[in-house]
A and B are shown apart, each in its own frame.
Chain A
Amino acid sequence: SQQGEEDPQALSIQEGENATMNCSYKTSINNLQWYRQNSGRGLVHLILIRSNEREKHSGRLRVTLDTSKKSSSLLITASRAADTASYFCATVLYGNNRLAFGKGNQVVVIP
C-alpha cells in the first residue's frame, strides 16, 4: 500500500518563524490530508486537499499539492509554542476511504 513520507523528520524553530514540511507519495490519489498529533493524544485533522487542487489555506496553514511530482507541503506561518506536535500526511486513493499515513514530522517551536 502506498504511504506518504514526510521530510524533514524533525524540525526545531523559534516562535514566530515559519515551519515547512514536505510529503511524497507513490501513486495517484483522490486527496491528501494533514493531521496533527500532540504528545500522548489522538490525531486531529488539519486540512484536506483534493487531487484537482493546487493550494489550500486554513488560518495559519498553507498546503500545496503537486500531483506531477507526487508531493505536498505544509507551511505553518508565524509559529507558536502550541504548534509543537507531530504532523502526519495521509493519502486517500480513489474508491476507498482508507488513510495511508506517513511516518510523521516532529516540530518543536521554542518560545
Chain B
Amino acid sequence: DAGVIQSPRHEVTEMGQEVTLRCKPISGHNSLFWYRQTMMRGLELLIYFNNNVPIDDSGMPEDRFSAKMPNASFSTLKIQPSEPRDSAVYFCASSSESKGGETQYFGPGTRLLVL
C-alpha cells in the first residue's frame, strides 16, 4: 500500500492567492482528517470526513478555508485568499472503521509558506 498521499509537498505562494492542497487516503479507509501543525499551536484538527461526508468542521479557522471530499479516494483543502498566518504544515490522515477506526495513518504533509 502506498500510504496516504499528499500533494504538493511544498507550496510557496503570495498573500491573496488561492492554495489547494490534495490528499489521497489509503484505499479502503472511510475516515479522512485534515490537520494543521505550527510551532505555536501544535497539531490542530481542521475537519474530518466519514464516508465522504464532513462530520466535524469546527476546527476550520474561518470562511477562507474549505474542504471537499468528492469521492472515497480524494480530498482537497482550499485556502482562498491565503494569508501569511496560514503558513504551516498541513497533514492529511485516514483511518478505517472496519479495522477499529482509531489508528490514523498520516501523509507526509504539505509545507505551506505564504509570503
Range, interface on chain B: 20 to 34
Interface residues of A in 73-111 (CB under 8 A from B): 88, 92, 96-104
Chain B 31-50 per-residue mask, 1 if CB under 8 angstroms from chain A, else 0: 10100000000110100101
Contacts of A42 in B (CB 8 A): 4, 91, 93, 106-109
Contact between A45 and B103 (Cβ–Cβ < 8 Å)?
A: yes
Contacts of A101 in B (CB 8 A): 42-43
| B-to-A contact residues, CB < 8 Å | 4, 31, 33, 42-43, 45, 48, 50, 56, 91, 93, 95, 97, 101-109
Known: A42-B91, A42-B108. A98 touches B103 (CB 8 A): no
Q: Which 4 pairs across A and B sit closest by C-beta, in order of nearness?
A: A42-B106, A101-B43, A43-B106, A103-B42
Residue on A nearest B44 in the bound complex, by CB:
A101
A70 to B101, CA, bound (A): 23
Contact between B43 and A98 (Cβ–Cβ < 8 Å)?
A: no
A88 to B106, CA, bound (A): 13
Contacts of A100 in B (CB 8 A): 45
A57 to B24, CA, bound (A): 32
Residue on B nearest A50 in the bound complex, by CB:
B102
A41 to B89, CA, bound (A): 10
Contact between A97 and B91 (Cβ–Cβ < 8 Å)?
A: no
Q: Please, could you name 15 A-B residue pairs with CB atoms under 8 Å apart, sorted by A?
A: A33-B103, A35-B106, A42-B4, A42-B91, A43-B91, A43-B93, A92-B102, A97-B50, A97-B97, A97-B101, A98-B45, A99-B33, A101-B43, A103-B42, A104-B43
Known: A33-B103, A45-B105, A103-B42. A98 touches B48 (CB 8 A): yes
Contact between A98 and B91 (Cβ–Cβ < 8 Å)?
A: no
